[in-house]
Structure 1
């Protein structure tokens, strides 16, 4: 405990330069490193002939030569950015200069000089971690196939049968073993940066030398790091508790004014951010001090040369680099300012979004059933979203999962089911016995029910057993006369492209739970993305490309309001009636109340006055 306490005490002496350097490097990361990673990603994706990859395509692409190289470069850049803070702080401790301006100037210069070395070290570290992790991850894959691939994954996630719990337990044990192995290796490599940055060792040699120097010392280092982390987490928890306390009482400051309450919350959040940033700089500095002292001990207390490798050399050049760096940061930050301005305009604007019933009205009726579809239409949904697959006899049926285990406890696969089979499978009782008469509908049934009342988004589902899904969907849509009232989308991007080629006049969309790259560059009229992916930047890019952004699955009022403030064009929700009501109520609120709603959803703050205003609408 003494070493950890001393490291925090010494770091406190350097807190001013550490904090200034920490903030500067955060700005550099936001304004330079992140765009650089974006450029690397764009160059990598050139080999995929797409501007973005989604979901399963990401994993497949990573295993191609171009994807593997791109992942290595991007991962190395991320690790280098994460370690840069500690590296620069180590250099500051080594120089002994506590003057903030001098430390900042020298730190920027040191960061520029060290960037190539840090990238090389990060790449070496990443390759070693991947090599160690692959056998463990392969075992996890075998366990998944053995225990969790018999039925659709949604069945396991919903009911958590014994085999699910067994698989989760075994996978957890494998990952725990991997964690122990990584902990052993990472502590053995604790001195790699010291060797590379200050002793000029080659990257591979530095890993070997660090392991040799740390022999017999890893357990002690683990104990020290655990204590260091405990101090950091405890301080962080104290800041979080103080923030939560302040936020809980902030709305009381606005009993007479919602604007005062919102401003008070923003002030408390700013204070929390300042405290968290200070803690981060302080604890990172303490970590740098711990590793620096460790290296001095294992190197027999040898004094380090403070010559050309020292962070304080080249004052004039350092100043020039600092000025140039901050000028670059300033230019690149204009985009962020534009985002803030655009966001404020979104909050002021009235909502002009469409309501999309997710699998009908899935919160109040069995999903993808006719009862759910009819309820969504009754609730005023602009669109009803459904999932379709092919049956064994070539019909287009409405079903999300690959089998009927979740909805009926029946293992029959959709592609093996005939219409006679579907007539015997009750898909409603799992939700409520009142819906025991519900059966898997056909696409034709849904389109006829929605005709003249609502539009329908058809999600094309693929499990590798489709025969001619796109053309069969086209035939049903045209047969029912609904071509002007439907849209199609899919997680499978080639299917989106195929539908656009077959029916270019139809509305099509890209569905994504995760993505890398520029989604706005993909073919399609809209992007249906997980709400965690929604940002003002994505919305702005999509709008520039003439595309709408639909967020899924949004089921509470505050999140609906926040998505509207982000600028989405549609809410995909299990609660279409609630979404319709939220849109009306939000439009009736003043701008400050809309801001308060956004704060409420983003930070969990309850505004009693706002709640009363909403209720009174």
Structure 2
């Protein structure tokens, strides 16, 4: 019965506090955008300046994160995220604590004042919690690294992922058990810390005593906290899903009403951007308020009679704060207008066949290349490596285990030997074999452009780049190829020897801003693709190629975010999605981008 009463109270509280909630969230999100985010970025920039940006992307990032400086970077990022969470959570707690009588309607101002006043202890508790979490992450990283070197270094990693041999299953199982243990320990800690904030805010406790006392107060009440956390998950979905659906429906209704002329549609687009912004802020605010209600409810159960709601009389914020906030709000509206008109207007999207031909044929084979040409792909991406006799062969893995069941290492074998090994056939098709870059260039000339990815395992061979460029020059195809790689050093070697071939950096993971001067495009994992990174790439004049996009849903998302080329295995389906996108008007695309934010 009490639980049912609490649900009804939560619904009534959200309704009663809606205006104050939206006001607080607007001010807090503005402070986050104007003060906290630039501050965190500046501190991060100081740390990044200590090392080369080239070391913070792709596989080098793993080595960096396992270093002492990388470990400190993880800690700083975690502490910054926790600080943002605690500031907002504290604001919601104050919003609840003063939502009574005459104070109603003004409590959002009181909440802003209080989180500013308590910013230092909130930062301190964030640092302590981040340090505690790092004590769990450190052994987990060491266990993963040890298992990799113990069990998974004999063959190429793609062999382990595709064939799932016993040693791979063992390594994943052991790491999974260690991860589960770490997650359970972290979950216990998070529950024990749940009352630390109200103890600090309402009883004036110092940080460390509050964290210890939180565990003591929760003794015998942890099951209730767990039930309320489940209730929070249900209520947040119950509020968020209808509101998101309503906003999405409103945007959908607006699409057919748009004028066909972009300039005439621009005011509507700005209005849609503002609608989405307010909707997202309000929905995230409801989520934060519901979690604060859980904390407050459990605190009242564990500490009966300690907190007198409405004990603080809110004061108005100073005039200069309000004036500054209105100024920032005006700039945000102007920024929305600018984004709507300059958010990289309609781009013509191309299709790139992944590993020559996608799933239709065996990867990186001449048969796959022919399939890519037949599908209408504008580019075919291929992987090249250097053989033992200095020739360039087209293959992705460092050995032939996955493709042929042979432990033959590419860099230790001559081209003739590699090309004589029959690969596993696909769907009863003729037996495929590896081919040289020269053969691929001859088959592609004047028919399809090639995206040549430079692969190397271990130190970059000084002979790889000259050999690839010599093959391109011999085929007279410098205007029909682009070159990409995970290695900035390899690409800069290409640029030093050839000024005309477009170059692209493949980004699998990164920390901080990369030095992309001299490159023409980036190839981004679709899981990393977001609007902020695409805007940053576009501002540097770079095309964005996205891999590996194999569903129409992901294709639409990538194109709406601004992708210029989709690298795919499913050429037919993605070709269809690209053709449909290329027929949309500029206004439709921008509004659909707004719609995409709600998905």
Q: TM-score range by the shorter chain?
A: 0.7 to 0.9
Report if the CA contact (8 A) 1:530-1:553 is conserved. yes
CA contact (8 A) 1:389 1:398 kept: yes
State the 1:91 CA deviation.
Answer: 1.5
The match for 2:84 is: 81
CA contact (8 A) 2:560 2:596 kept: no
Distance in 2, matches of 1:511 and 1:579, equals 21
- Please give the residue correspondences for 1:499-510 in structure 2 after superposition, counting only pairs within 5 Å: 499-510=494-505
Aligned counterpart for 2:110 among listed residues 86, 103, 106: 106
State the match for 2:507 in structure 1: 512
Using the alignment, how far apart are the partners of 2:300 and 2:556 within structure 1?
A: 56
Structure 1 residue 464, shift from structure 2 partner: 1.0
Name the structure 1 match of 2:201: 197
Separation (CA, whole Å) in 1 of partners of 2:598 and 2:189: 38
Show the counterpart of 2:441: 447
Contact 1:11 1:289 in 2 (8 A): no
* Structure 1 residue 548: Cα displacement: 2.2
- Deviations 1:416-463, CA, capped at 9 Å, x for gaps: 33334323422350x332131x21111222122223433322211122
Task: Find 2:388's aligned residue among 373, 392, 396.
Answer: 392
**Residues in 2 aligned to 1:209 and 1:410: alpha-carbon distance in whole angstroms:** 61
- What is the CA-CA distance between 1:353 and the residue it aligns to? 4.2
2:345 maps to what in 1? 346
Distance 2:381 2:129 in 1: 45
Instruction: Tell me how far apart the structure 2 counterparts of residues 597 and 250 of structure 1 sit (CA, whole Å).
Output: 8
Taking a change above 3 Å as real, the CA distance of residues 230 and 164 of structure 1, as seen in their structure-2 partners, is farther
Please give the alpha-carbon distance, in whole angstroms, between the structure 2 residues aligned to 1:157 and 1:267: 47
Maintained 8 Å contact 1:91/1:311 = no
Partner of 1:40: 43
Query: Within 1, Cα distance between the matches of 2:306 and 2:95?
Result: 18
Describe the shift of the 1:571–1:519 C-alpha distance in structure 2 as closer, same or farther (beyond 3 A).
farther
What is the CA-CA distance between 1:218 and the residue it aligns to? 3.5
SS at match of 2:106: helix
Report the alpha carbon displacement of residue 599 of structure 1 after superposing the two structures with TM: 8.3
1:459 equivalent in structure 2: 453
Q: Aligned pair in 2 of structure 1 residues 329, 271: CA closer, same or farther (>3 Å)?
A: closer
Give the CA deviation at 1:572: 2.6
Cα pair distance change 1:96/1:233, threshold 3 Å? closer
Tell me if structure 1 keeps the 8 A contact 2:387–2:413.
yes
Question: How far has the Cα of 1:365 moved from its partner?
Answer: 1.9
Residue 50 (1) aligns with residue 53 (2) = yes
* 1:178 aligns to 2:182 (yes or no): yes
Choose the corresponding residue for 1:383, options 379, 385, 393: 379
- For residue 65 of structure 2, what is the aligned residue in structure 1? 62
Query: Deviations 1:26-67 (Å, cap 9, x if unpaired)?
Result: 444355544444333333322223389323333333345554
Is 297-306 or 216-225 further displaced after alignment?
Answer: 297-306
C-alpha offsets along residues 155-181 of structure 1, whole Å, 9 cap, x if unaligned?
343344555445444433332222221
**Rounded Cα–Cα distance in structure 2 between residues aligned with 1:559 and 1:545:** 24
Mapped partners of 2:296, 2:289: distance in 1: 10
Distance 1:167 1:141, change over 3 A: same
Tell me the equivalent position of 2:520. 525
**Residue among 215, 219, 227 paired with 1:211:** 215
Matches within 5 A, 1:512-591: 512-519=507-514, 521-535=516-530, 537-556=532-551, 560=555, 563-574=558-569, 586-590=581-585
Cα deviation for residue 585 of structure 1 reads 5.2
> What stretches of structure 2 of length at least 5 have no aligned partner?
none
Q: Would the aligned equivalents of 1:108 and 1:322 in 2 still touch at CA under 8 Å?
A: no
8 Å CA contact 1:52, 1:516 repeated in 2: no
Q: Per-residue deviation at 1:208? A: 3.2
Of 24, 27, 32 in structure 2, the residue corresponding to residue 29 of structure 1 is: 32
Distance 2:445 2:494 in 1: 22
**Aligned positions of 1:132-143 closer than 5 A:** 132-143=136-147
Using the size of structure 1 for normalisation, the TM-score is: 0.80
CA distance in 2 between counterparts of 1:485 and 1:141 reads 41
Q: Does 1:365 align with 2:361?
A: yes
How far apart in 1 are the matches of 2:203 and 2:326? 30
Contact 1:357–1:385 (CA under 8 A) maintained in structure 2: yes
Q: How does 1:221-300 map to 2 (within 5 A)?
A: 221-233=225-237, 236=240, 258-259=256-257, 280-296=284-300, 298-299=302-303
Quote the Cα distance in structure 1 between the aligned partners of 2:451 and 2:535: 23
Tell me the SS of whatever aligns to 2:53. coil
Give the whole-Å Cα distance in 1 for the aligned partners of 2:272 and 2:579: 31
Change (3 A) 1:494 1:205: farther
| Equivalent in the alignment of 2:122 | 118
Distance 2:404 2:257 in 1: 51
> 1:324: which partner in 2?
324
User: Structure 1 residues 116, 60: CA separation in 2 closer, same or farther (over 3 Å shift)?
Assistant: farther
- Partner Cα distance (1:304, 1:33) in 2: 32
Partner of 1:411: 407
Shift in alpha-carbon separation, 1:557–1:346, aligned structure 2, 3 A: farther
SS in 2 for 1:48: coil
What does residue 491 of structure 2 align with? 496
| Residues 496, 207 of structure 1: alpha-carbon distance in 2 compared, 3 angstrom cutoff | farther
> Does the 8 A contact of 2:98 with 2:107 survive in 1?
no
- Number of aligned pairs? 588
Residue deviations 1:258-300, cap 9 Å, x none? 559x99xx99999999888656544533432343354455556
**d(CA) in 1 for partners of 2:487 and 2:187?**
38
Q: How far apart are the structure 2 equivalents of 1:385 and 1:498?
A: 20
Tell me which residue corresponds to 1:151.
155
